[in-house]
Amino acid sequence: MAHATDPGRTVLALDDIDRAILAELSADGRLAIRALAKRLHISRTNAYARLDRLMSEGVITGFHARIDPRRAGLGTSAYILITVEQTSWRTMSAELREIPFVEHVSLVGGDFDILLLVRTPDNASLRDVVLERLQALDGVRSTRTWLIFEEQQGGGARL
């Protein structure tokens, strides 16, 4: 059963229909339930119930538009690697999410502690984010900026 979990399992077990629902909605988040049910050869009632369960259990966390950052006026993108004092990472996550133009925050293991994806209108704005905002935070030891010259959308997770 899709909603049952095995002892020791840390994630929800999904069956083939659940994975098919996720694949269809990943391709088109505006897909109507009727069309979804028809594509998967299940009843609308089943599609509604499964979608409701996937949402209530946090598998589906929302629906959004995919936006081209360059066409939306954010022509400069960069990954910023941050090394922090080990006692400050808990409070820093919330502070980082409040900085304008920070799109994604990841706590990582390795040679640095935090990885940011930042998208700004131009290099001057990126400079402000790095030199005025990030390096002013308590606990930041160093930053390293990698400019993104070109991006390609991946195929996404295969469920």
Could you report the per-residue pLDDT of 43-62, keeping only the tens digit for each? 999 999 999 999 999 999 99
**159: pLDDT confidence band, cut at 50, 70 and 90?**
low
| CB crowding 31-67: b at 16 or more within 10 Å, else e | eeeeebbeebebeeeebeebbeebeeeebbeeeeeee
Same domain for 50 and 84, yes or no, is: no
Residue identified by tokens 């400050």 is 88
CATH number assigned to the domain comprising residue 49: 1.10.10.10
Other C-beta atoms lying within 10 Å of the C-beta of residue 156? 10
Residue 21 has pLDDT above 90, yes or no: yes
Provide the residue range defining the domain that includes 41: 16-57
CA 52 to chain centre: 21
Tens digit of each residue's pLDDT (9 = 90 or more) over 95-154? 999 999 999 999 999 999 999 999 999 999 999 999 999 999 999 999 999 999 999 888
Query: Which residues, other chains included, contact 79 with Cβ-Cβ below 8 Å and sequence gap of 6+?
Result: 115, 116, 117, 118, 145, 146, 148
Q: What is the pLDDT of residue 3?
A: 44
Domain assignment of residue 3, yes or no? no
Domain assignment of residue 95, yes or no? yes
**9: pLDDT confidence band, cut at 50, 70 and 90?**
low
User: What is the Cα–Cα distance from 145 to 117, expressed in whole angstroms?
Assistant: 10
**27: pLDDT confidence band, cut at 50, 70 and 90?**
confident
Q: What is the pLDDT of residue 154?
A: 83
pTM (two decimals): 0.77
Kind and range of the H or E element at 4?
Answer: none
Beta-strand ranges (E) seen in 40-149 are: 76-84, 102-107, 114-120, 140-148
Mean pLDDT for all residues in the chain: 90
**157: pLDDT confidence band, cut at 50, 70 and 90?**
confident
Q: How many domains does the chain have?
A: 2
Same domain for 80 and 126, yes or no, is: yes
Same domain for 79 and 143, yes or no, is: yes
CB 114 within 8 A of CB 95: no
Domain assignment of residue 33, yes or no? yes
Residue 4 has pLDDT above 80, yes or no: no
Q: What is the pLDDT of residue 41?
A: 97
CATH number assigned to the domain comprising residue 110: 3.30.70.920
